[in-house]
Amino acid sequence: MALLSKKDANLILDPLADNNPITIQVLGICSALAITAELKASIVMSISVIFVMGIGNVVISLLRNVIPSKIRIIVQLIVVATLVIVVDQVLKAYAYDLSKTLSVFVGLIITNCIIMGRFEAFALGNGVWRSFLDGIGNALGYGVILIIVGFFRELLGSGTLFGIPVLGDPIAKTGLYSIGYENNGFMIIPPAALIVVGVIIWVQRSRNRALIEEA
């Protein structure tokens, strides 16, 4: 017997492509703009969101029959804020260097609308296992886009990947810089993320025309 049924597997796979939270649902754009100037930051943010969203969806799903509907948004906020604080404190105690890298991103997780969106749209109406898979799937979909954006922004903007120079030394003019290549300063400012996300959306829709909305 397969580990996951086809329906369960789709909860993981759909958000990676045809129902991606960033490129299809256009959620989570703020953090995609804020933190993707570096590949490392994109990866760290993705891992943190996978944790918070996976556990958060499980908690909301467990509580779904007892949460008063009038205060459900507040309850969801409390759950995500609590998980973010737990992540932050545990990292500070046991992975201090990583917590320094995360710094501002941990706080940004609270404002990530994908998390609240999945709590509201899925976890409140589904069982624990399926909610967990949905959380992991959507966080992975978010992470994939973040990593692609981070890769291109850091490479074209700074000529580095994970902080390591891969195109040469821009000051001493070695590598690509020796033949006239210049780092594109525009790529390291936040609007560049919108352009990279736009290009990903364009590529995705041209490969799968079913995603194009009719006018």
Partner 1 sequence: MAMNTEKNSYTVIFSIVMVMVVGSVLAFLASALRPRIDENERFEKQQNILYAMGINENTPDSGVNFIPTDVVEGEFGKYIKEQYVLVNGEMVADDQAFLVDMKKQLSNLKDGGEARLPIFIGEKEGKKSYILPMHGKGLWDAIWGFMAVDEHMVIQGVYFDHKAETAGLGANIKMRFFMDDFQGESLLNGGSYEGVVVSKTNNDPLNQDKEDNTVDAIAGATITGNGVSAMIKETLKVYRPYLDNIRTN
Nearer to partner 1, 71 or 121 (CB): 71
| Binding residues for partner 1 restricted to 13-72, rule: CB under 8 A | 34-35, 37-38, 41, 65-71
Residue 12: partners with Cβ closer than 8 Å, 6 or more residues away: 4, 133, 136, 137, 140
Number of residues lying near partner 1 (CB under 8 A): 39
Q: Which long-range contacts (CB under 8 A, 24 or more apart) does 64-67 make?
A: 64/123, 64/124, 64/125, 67/124
204, 211 contact by CB (below 8 A): yes
Nearer to partner 1, 166 or 189 (CB): 189
Nearer to partner 1, 100 or 208 (CB): 100
3-state SS, residue 64: coil
Q: Could you identify the residue written with the tokens 């590529």? A: 203
**Interface mask (CB under 8 A) for partner 1, residues 170-199, using x and -?**
-xx------------x--xxx---------
Beta bridge partners, 165, equal: 160
Q: Which residues bind partner 1 (CB under 8 A)?
A: 34-35, 37-38, 41, 65-71, 75, 78, 82, 85-86, 89-90, 92-94, 96, 100, 103-105, 107, 153-154, 157-158, 163, 171-172, 185, 188-190
